[in-house]
Structure 1
Amino acid sequence: MLANKRILLIIGGGIAAYKTPDLIRRLRERGARVTPVLTRAGSEFVTPLTVAAVAGERVHDQLFDLTTEAEMGHIQLSRSADLIVVAPATADLMSKMAGGAADDLASTLLLATDTPVLLAPAMNVRMWDHPATQRNLATLKADGILFTGPNEGDMACGEYGPGRMSEPLEIVAAAERFFAEGPLSGKRVVVTSGPTHEPIDPVRYIANRSSGAQGTAIARALAALGAEVVFVTGPASVPPPEGVQVVKVETAREMKEAVEAALPADAAIFAAAVADWRVRSASGSKIKKVKGTLPTLEFDENPDILATVSQMETGRPALVVGFAAETDDVVAHATAKRARKGCDWILANDVRPETGIMGGAENAVVLISEQGAEDWPRMGKEAVAEKLAARVAEALRQGR
């Protein structure tokens, strides 16, 4: 999908700029031609010589360049590309874009272009969460700017949270989605997967028996149809799919926060096996076994993520899909769950041990919707995911 595509890569001034030589290499591996633009701050983290050597192209870093500006080079650069990628997209660059500033080559290019723009934000978590940045984010999204990330994780400054730039392969996947002709191109879907772990003490926890295989397959199938996928996963036993934005969590409360941070979205699919309860006061040290006595655990109910999103008054995804793992009266319980939660679809499955579904390679589901119950034959989890992704694409096409 990137073969012979012209990518204008603007490198902002952040520590994540060290990843851009690898990003350039990955883009060129797929046949793209990469023209680099290096901001003055970006050159503090990666040198023009390094960028030029990896790109095989000269680096543009001066707005007032006699040679290129004699022919209005900033106009030509901004309009000769098929896609402009900004990585890292700093808070400063986002602010300039949202406000229409044009005081250097990068911001001038971004203002003078009618070429689609893809941003990969990277900044300190407090900068990302600041109301000014969030206002700029909303403005840029409303202007049609595309985004990938940011991811959540450890920061160079020692803090933790959202603000890490997407990995090079994630940015490549986002660029490929832009050029893809899939039925979900331009759609954003949130997928939850895996179990949650609710701590009892530092070495024990409560969890559900979920491998995360079905949720992972769903995320992969949606991405294959061109969707931008935010994959919120608990501690699964299978690796997350490539080409999607991965947000790793441990507990139900962390999963709820991650899902809310990923909105707005066109669809949300809740395949995670979220623990219904958590220990009210998890011990900070290991609970020791004392002969003749048993520990007393008090529980609180975890937040209901599916119901919360399904019943949102504003910003609700057009399509909300839940899962129901049942051991008896599967259709009846799943139908009641759909009505109770307020979601559009429920995928119900029989997870009695003898079925081998929980943690296995196959699944047999019943799709519960307002039209009733639709039995799907037993098939591999990848096939289930592909069938669901196709149905999601059709529902969104019809304007659900």
Structure 2
Amino acid sequence: MTLNKATEASFIPYGKQSIDSADIDAVVEVLKSDFLTQGPVIPAFEKAFCDYTGAHSAIAVANATAALHIACLALEIGENDLVWTSPNSFLSSANCALFCNAKIDFVDIDPHTYNLCAKKLAEKLAFAEREGKLPKVVIPVHFAGQPCDMQEIHALSLRYNFSIIEDASHAVGASYRDKKIGACEYSDICVFSFHPVKIITTAEGGLALTNKPALAHKMRKFACHGTVREENQLSDRGQGSWYYEQQSLGYNYRMTEMQAALGLSQLAKLDHFIALRHQLFENYSRLLADLDIHLPKLKEGLHSALHLYPICLSTKLTHHRKAIFQSLRSQGIGVQIHYIPIHTQPYYQNLGFRRGDFPNAENYYECCLSLPLYSSLSFEQQESVKQTLGQTLSHFTDLD
């Protein structure tokens, strides 16, 4: 799609970062300092997130995919281990297990929240126990910023003896049962993303949080070439302050000082950003109530980060979804699709998955459309979204 200059200037994206002068000043200060990487700002960023969430340890890395990978490595996922996750997510939620030579499978979603369904998980676990094929790790994904039913999933983990990695890439700043996501109350590890379209940004960047020191040590080691420097961790002690040891095969997944500085500045505004998103969510729900679409619903007992505002087209409009998508974008409304079910991707089809395996995720995909939502979106822009969306839906309704 090509936009003319007038439309391009007024294009409303589905998501974008909110950067102010304080953010810029924080990055410039680092650029003028002695450290661009491996300096004091990264530990400060990690500590700030521990203070915010209540987690014991945080490991800042290059992106959320890296965070998911080191989380899998720390939990010693290996060849022939089974990992389950949601098909309604970005590829990284599943790929991280394949990076470790594990086998991946999926649990269908709740048709109302679009999150991994705890009831479907319980049914699949009961069957897997009979077959002797229980997962080693389950990765629930907090889709659109709304937390999964973590208490129920955690109870199942105790019964069936699996570990839990929360993929909270969408849920920075969200809360579940009065505790911040990232507190790891019901999980072994929680992962955040700071991509520019997320709630706060470090440009690229990710974070893994845990309350277990042993897991924190492993993740930090895997993120830095498999090396350690702490005297009490060395095999050959007393060598000198320069000395380090590679004790495992690791990766260069480190975050930079500039990213951490931007993240620290953004973290100070996180709760404000989410408050703005909630105002926008409520305004959308009011504006769009009379349209022939299904609006997102929030469950009680949690506080969503509202990363996305996903709507579903009515049955009679679903077969026009492609044309509706293209029409809206040509008119300057940057809608998006979240997500193509992972198991329908060609790579995963080659692993043996088939369309029809997870019908709730597939049905949601066929009708979903994410509307623009970000903290600097104005009510006036939302009015424009409503008017354009309403006119577009009416046009395609009339075609039938």
TM-score (norm 2): 0.21
Kindly indicate which of the two structures has a greater share of residues assigned to helix.
Answer: 2
Kindly indicate which of the two structures has a greater share of residues assigned to strand.
Answer: 1
Larger RCO (CA within 8 A; separation ≥ 6): 2
For the pair shown, which has the larger CA radius of gyration, 1 or 2?
1
TM-score (norm 1): 0.21
